[in-house]
Amino acid sequence: MPSQQWTLGFVGAGVMAESMISGVLSQGVITPDRVFASDPKPSRRVSLQAEHHIRVVAENAEVAAQADLLVLAVKPQNLAQVMAELSGHLRPEVQVLSIVAGASMKAIRQGLDHARVARAMPNLPCRIQRGISVWTGAEGLDADRVRAVLSGMGSQVHVEHEIDIDRATAVSGTGPAIVAEFVKAMMEAATYLGQPRELARESVLATLLGTAEMIRQSNDLHVAQLIDDVTSPGGTTSRALQALKNGRFHAVVTESVDAAFQRTQELGRDLEHKLISGS
């Protein structure tokens, strides 16, 4: 997407915000002089300006006044305070994109007193532009701008129903930690068997990446078929899979993802209650 004459603002300049900034700049979506970011820490502002040559300020309202597309990238516990600062400073045509975990569009609209809101869940691999961002938005949004910003970090998928953002938070948002925990367990198992740590790391990661790519390329092949192809009756894989079943592997994974989903919805309810009660 070629550079356009619109402005992009970030309230909150943490790691994910910087990933988005790096992505849009590297792909030429927008020029650095049209990107604004706020952060209360002077050292962070200096670092962002030096690395990306964007415009940095201390006050959130100053970014809001400049941006055509405003990204909310703050911690959930800080969101209510930040929205109170921004309310009344947004022009009617400004689009707001929230990447705050658990914060519903209803809460954002209410907190900002602003209608044009979208919500996205980018995941951890977005930091290296290999992630996925699932998003949805209200009518009247410039979807191309939202897609361009999110595509700078990897793939992006639009969904019609906001509940799918909560599901994505649990699956693709929490998923990298679950996968990393599995990788850690595999590496520990390899060293338990006597593999050197360097070999354990290399072999486990190569197995994970290769298997994931095989599944990705085999669109017409169910993952169960891949398992069946490598499993011989009475063989090593059969024995390993039986141990996983005995340990309730599938059930534990499902329970962990569901726990993340329930917590996402709790965060949303807590935020809406805080906005309604004013506490």
**Distance between alpha carbon 25 and the CA centroid of its chain, in Å?**
19
DSSP state of 124: G
Tell which residue, 160, 120, 116, 121, has the closest CA to residue 138.
116
The CATH number of the structural domain formed by 8-160 is 3.40.50.720
* Topology, domain 175-259: ProC C-terminal domain-like fold (1.10.3730)
Residue with tokens 């009247």: 140
Domain definitions of the chain by residue range: 8-160, 175-259
What is 253-267 written as a DSSP string?
HHHHHHHHHHHHHHH
Q: How far apart are CA 12 and CA 60, in angstroms?
A: 8
**113-153: per-residue pLDDT in tens?**
999 999 999 999 999 999 999 999 977 788 999 999 999 99
pTM for the model stands at 0.88
**234-261: per-residue pLDDT in tens?**
999 999 999 999 999 999 999 999 999 9
